[in-house]
């Protein structure tokens, strides 16, 4: 009986240890799992907030950049009430710049100014005055009268000249005159007489023929 009791105790002792250790092991694994989930969740949240702040900073930077580009500065000269440097909104047209300068003078030749021209930052635009006797010219005088008038008045301003006046220049026909005006409207005023060579079809040879007959 003594041996039987000992044998019975020896068998029951491991079962008692397993009953104690197994729940503790499960509890430890559960705690470890919770810690891992907490760390992973915190890391994900931190990355999410960092990305969100980065997106907000980028949006703010773009907004500031757009505000910086919201205005342009142009220089307006000629027959206007207040010639000088004015600031207008980006994408503004010649009419907006003229208005900012107080409007045209009574002597201004508004027909030679493209009021629909889109302005660029740093551009200079000029409003010419009416030439004496220009209103007395017959309506049907055509190109010949324009040529005579151009010669009598001296060099023509390539920034303000009409298509008829440009047509009177050596080597410049109606098509080339139209290209010059289109260039002024898209690229802005010429800053040097040599810039007229940037117009398609006007090379060094044509420029040499007309350089003494043009000005700014």
Radius of gyration of the chain (CA): 42
- Measured distance CA(202)–CA(182) in Å, rounded: 14
- Same structural domain for residues 16 and 60? yes
* Residues 76 and 99 occupy one common structural domain: yes
Alpha-carbon distances, residue 134 vs 123, 131, 146, 156, 163 (angstroms): 28, 6, 10, 15, 15
Between 101 and 7, whose confidence is greater?
Answer: 101
Tens digit of pLDDT for each residue in 72-98? Answer: 999 999 888 999 999 999 999 999 999
Name residues whose C-beta falls within 8 Å of residue 105's C-beta, 6 or more positions apart in sequence: 79, 80, 81, 129
Same domain, 147 and 213: yes
How do residues 101-160 score in pLDDT, each as one tens digit? 999 988 899 888 899 999 999 998 899 988 765 544 444 444 444 444 444 457 899 988
Domain span at residue 164? 141-216
Structure tokens, 75:
């220089």
Residues 93 and 54 in one domain: no
Whether the model clears a pTM of 0.75, i.e. scores above it, the answer is no
């Amino acid at each position: 009986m003594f041996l039987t009791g000992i044998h019975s105790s020896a068998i029951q002792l491991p079962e008692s240890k397993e009953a104690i250790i197994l729940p503790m092991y499960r509890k430890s694994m559960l705690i470890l799992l919770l810690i891992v989930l907490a760390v992973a969740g915190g890391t994900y949240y931190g990355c999410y907030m960092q990305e969100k702040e980065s997106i907000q900073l980028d949006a703010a930077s773009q907004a500031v950049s757009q505000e910086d580009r919201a205005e342009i500065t142009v220089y307006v000269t000629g027959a206007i009430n207040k010639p000088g440097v004015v600031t207008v909104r980006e994408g503004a047209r010649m009419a907006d710049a003229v208005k900012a300068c107080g409007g045209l003078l009574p002597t201004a030749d508004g027909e030679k100014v493209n009021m629909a021209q889109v302005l660029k930052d740093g551009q200079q635009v000029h409003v010419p005055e009416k030439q004496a006797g220009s209103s007395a010219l017959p309506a049907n005088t055509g190109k010949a009268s324009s040529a005579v008038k151009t010669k009598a008045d001296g060099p023509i301003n390539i920034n303000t000249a009409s298509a008829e006046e440009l047509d009177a220049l050596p080597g410049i026909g109606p098509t080339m005159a139209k290209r010059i005006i289109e260039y002024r409207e898209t690229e802005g005023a010429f800053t040097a007489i040599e810039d007229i060579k940037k117009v398609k079809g006007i090379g060094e040879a044509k420029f040499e023929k007309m350089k003494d007959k043009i000005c700014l």
